Structure 1
Amino acid sequence: MTTLRLRPEGPADTGPVRRVLTAGFARPDVSTPPEVGLVEDLRGTDAWIPELAMVAEYGGEVVGYALLTRVHVRDDGGSAPALALGPVAVAPHRQRVGHGTAVVQAALDAATELDERLVVVLGDPGYYRRFGFTRADRMGLTSPWSGLGEPWQALVLPASTSGDGPVPRGEVLFPPPWSKV
């Protein structure tokens, strides 16, 4: 029986992750989707957290990917760390069987274990609601995508050793590679 294996991305996964992203975000008007460049540009920056780049492997093949990277929430008193979810992709031949949900949940679980507090995402509310995401603007979070309404979402992760302190509010600042998508 083949099972799904969820794990952090390793050095040998660069090519397979690129293939999953290229296939998952394929569009007729571009040969390489911008999400591929986003991941490649984020690797090696201060925003990259190796434990939060998750792959789903099925039958020895990387079939899914979910990335959480460092962002900051700026308010009047300074800034607080947070995470951005994305891109998330599943190889077309393995879509609609739960691999996307599994790899996203694995990334969120890993973030919780690292005592992260807040995750933002721009995506389908119907999909991300299953993880507990809600409208980010209602949480006092803004970004270049705030004007899109419901797709701009946030999730407060369960507190562990970090306690139940206030959730950051303010402008979410993304690292430069995000400006290309």
Structure 2
Amino acid sequence: MTPDSIRGVFIMLDQRILVAYASHTGSTEEAVGTALQEHGARVDVHPVQDVTTLKPYRTVLVGSAIHAAKWLPEAAEFVKRHTTELEQLPLSYFLVCATFREDTAEHHREVLAYLDPVRVLLEPLEIGLFAGRLDASRLPLLERMLVKAMKSGEGDWRDWEAIHDWAGGVWEHLEHGEGEAVA
């Protein structure tokens, strides 16, 4: 190895992973960050609106809760705003959605389609689809009224093991330099 390549390895090892998210509570996003840390990664977990640059990051995972069958607007805007930077980095998307509490082929297709607006901008290397939770007390009044009117049923359907395993898989792909898109 040349001195430059050795320096490049140390720079890569020092770079952090960004988990940028849009959510009302952030608990799933914290789980993704924690799982990456448990695998040895240096991770920053921030709401998308708090991220101004991607320069210190080796890779970016962008996630959002789903409301009205789409990512929260601030998550989609993050991808649009940082498209040029994200094109240069390994990118993963994840979403958290109560619809996915029943992991059927139909729900998989439906929930995966919620990513179409950002997948048109940039295709990720990895996609994580997770069941979420619905706690109407944490929603704005209008959404809370809609949930009650639809009788959607509240609950917590997050599969912490699936979240941990997915994050670990992302880390493994990064460590082994694998870069094919998966859905």
Larger Rg: 2
Structure 1 length as normaliser, TM-score? 0.31
Structure with more of its chain in strand, by fraction: 1
Structure 2 length as normaliser, TM-score? 0.30
